[in-house]
Structure 1
Amino acid sequence: MIEFHPVTRHIGAEVTGVDLRKPLSQEQVATLRAGWLKHLVLFFRDQHIDDEQHLQFALNFGTLNHPAFKKDSGSPIHVLDQTDPKGEGGDEWHSDNTFEPTPPMGSLLRCVQLPSIGGDTCWANTYLAYESLSKPMQRLCDELTAVHDITMSMTKAISKGHPFVLEEIQAKWPPIERPVVRVHAETGRKALFVNRASTTGFVGLSPRENEALLPLLIDHIRSPEYQVRLRWRPGTMAFWDNRPTQHYAVADYTERRRMHRVTVNAFPEHQDK
């Protein structure tokens, strides 16, 4: 029987009673989806699966998302293989690819190889970040839109030696405006939807107002009470909802860390209206 064991009060649960090497029944998929929507990120321990099993598990929950700028764009499995992660972009609080016309619904990240120490990942609950704002601040955020732009993250990647052409990437993914408060398509709950990696400013606010408000909201999401931290082990899988969470890859290692990831878009019935 599938069971969920909360890791913190507000976000994260370890899952037992399921073997990811085997196909899932419709009932198991429904149970996992309900637990995922409730806990926002699920952790599966001791799941020593291969890439095909990883992919098939992911496809129970959405369709493949594969951004064109990924270096391994021919494969559905994106390999994160790092020994020098500082400044790569993962070590900032972010939601994945909010510069896309339709940002991905979620990601499933599997640990293959770890350094001897370090390499944890943290997630934050952005429902709670919104709900804990004062009512006047909530009303302000409800009315605002913000610009999301790939330029900041691509500039960092290029500075670290990745062979991207910034102008080509910018042409493919021009800046896009999004509501500052996102309404989750499945739960109807509101979540704060700005992040340090991609959000450049609020539409209609003066530069001085932007200088005050954007850092305040971004910093607010970093509050520890909204977070969970995962200490990986080989064979651990994390499956998170990208819509009401942000995550942060702790860049505290200098030995090899290899992770395999599948990112998924929502099925039509679960997409934003």
Structure 2
Amino acid sequence: MKPTLLLVDDNEEILEFLETELNEKYTIVKAMDGEAALELLRQEVIQLVISDIMMPVMDGFELCKIIKTNFEYSHIPVILLTAKNTLQSKIQGLEIGADAYIEKPFSPEYLQVQIANLLMNRAKIKEYFVSSPLVHIKSMAHTKTDELFLEKVNEAVYANLEDAALDVEKLAKLMNMSKPTLYRKIKSISDLTPNELINITRLKKAAELLVEGKYKIYEVADMTGYGSQTNFGRNFLKQFGMTPTDYLAMKQAKALSNDPPE
């Protein structure tokens, strides 16, 4: 599926121009001011926002500020377009959390590269998180709001690690959120379902415990909510490309190689 972009500008010609340039690679939705854009954000799953700054009703600065401080939208990258090329204007845009700032007139090719880079960087960060045993969940956060949310998810899962039945419904209750809101937020930040994120969080805690060297593999499996060492080993291998035994051996070998000579 093509990523969905939200274009916001009070000039219909510019909206049509942008749509023509971008609709081959992206699904496009359009709004003519910030308030209309917020309404679309409530209705659609948006991957990136491109907004003009000077608009009636609600300008681009205010829209960007709301997006970056709103729990449900703070993960969405925002590109601001403007004819205002003063340094102060650029600083203001970056201070409220804009991910990129492009002056009009601009090259469509330059805009395409900015969009692709923002989406690709986020995809790389997500991939790094899911494939690396000791990388913290916060690595996926792009805003303070997202960071606080991900930390809260992590704490909720850690506090209930031994509960093999922990799932999205239980996690939603622990987070004091509705199931659909939790699902949408986790999916949009991490590209994972809540149950997948719960499983990865278990496995990452297991990797930490293995590195500590205080527990046998079957004990770690027990402590992280897996019914058996076999089930744990299968999940670990699928997620990180190595068995718990191989992972432990790799970490021990690395520790020995880093020991100072006697």
Taking CA–CA contacts closer than 8 Å with sequence separation of 6 or more, which of the two structures ends up with the larger relative contact order?
Answer: 1
TM-score, length-scaled by structure 2: 0.28
Larger Rg: 2
Q: Which has the larger share of strand?
A: 1
Q: Which has the higher helix share?
A: 2
